[in-house]
Structure formats: C-alpha cells, structure tokens
C-alpha cells in the first residue's frame, strides 16, 4: 500500500474517512508542511492571543460544535455565529420563528 501516510489537509483532519483516519491507523503517520504551519499558527494564537480575539463559527448543526462553542466562549472577546447554527440561536432568543 505505502510506507508512510502524510496528511497535509488540516481542514479534513477531523473526518474519520477511510482515506484519512483508517490509513493513518495502519501506517506511520505525519503532518505535511502546510498542516504543520497551520498547527503552529493555531498554537501561537491560542497560547498568546492578541486582544481583542474574535472567532467565527458556522455550519448547520449546533450539536457537532457545542464543545467548541463552550470552549471558545471562555477564550474569545467576540463570537460570531453563522449558517444554520445562527438560526438555532435566533429561535432560542425568540427573534425568528423557526430554523431555516
């Protein structure tokens, strides 16, 4: 199959697909240079943030992002919600009638 697995797609690293997760379980695995740079930038931003800190979170399902939101709310000064998730919060606040 291969000697090593290199993942250079940070945006897809959380997905448990056969082409990412399963292969990484079977081979020695490493991050590629782009992913390494993104991880370094993320670590620096989390360890020594420059205030004010804002985060933008979007998507359709709140349930898949609840843990992230709970963590972020303690760390950011401004939290922007977008996508279908924003509608869920607007419904909870009574500002719209039903999520789209």
Tens-digit pLDDT profile for residues 20-78: 889 999 999 999 999 999 999 989 988 888 899 999 998 887 888 888 899 999 889 99
Q: Round to whole Å and give the CA distance between 21 and 16.
A: 5
Domain boundaries, the chain: 1-48, 49-100
pLDDT for the residue 66: 87
Q: Which residue has the higher pLDDT, 96 or 48?
A: 48
Category of 83 on φ-ψ map: left (φ > 0), alpha (ψ -120 to 50) or beta: left
Which helix (H) or strand (E) covers residue 79, if one does?
A: strand 78-81
Q: Is 57 helix (H, G, I), strand (E, B) or coil?
A: strand
Residue 14 tokens read as 């959380």
pLDDT for the residue 98: 64
């Amino acid at each position: 199959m291969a000697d090593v697995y290199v993942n250079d797609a940070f945006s897809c690293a959380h997905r448990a697909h056969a082409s990412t997760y399963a292969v990484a379980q079977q081979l020695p695995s490493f991050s590629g240079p782009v992913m390494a740079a993104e991880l370094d930038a993320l670590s620096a931003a989390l360890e020594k943030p420059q205030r004010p800190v804002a985060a933008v979170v979007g998507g359709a399902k709140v349930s898949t992002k609840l843990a992230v939101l709970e963590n972020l709310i303690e760390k950011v000064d401004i939290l922007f919600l977008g996508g279908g998730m924003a509608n869920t919060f607007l419904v909870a606040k009574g500002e719209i009638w039903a999520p789209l």
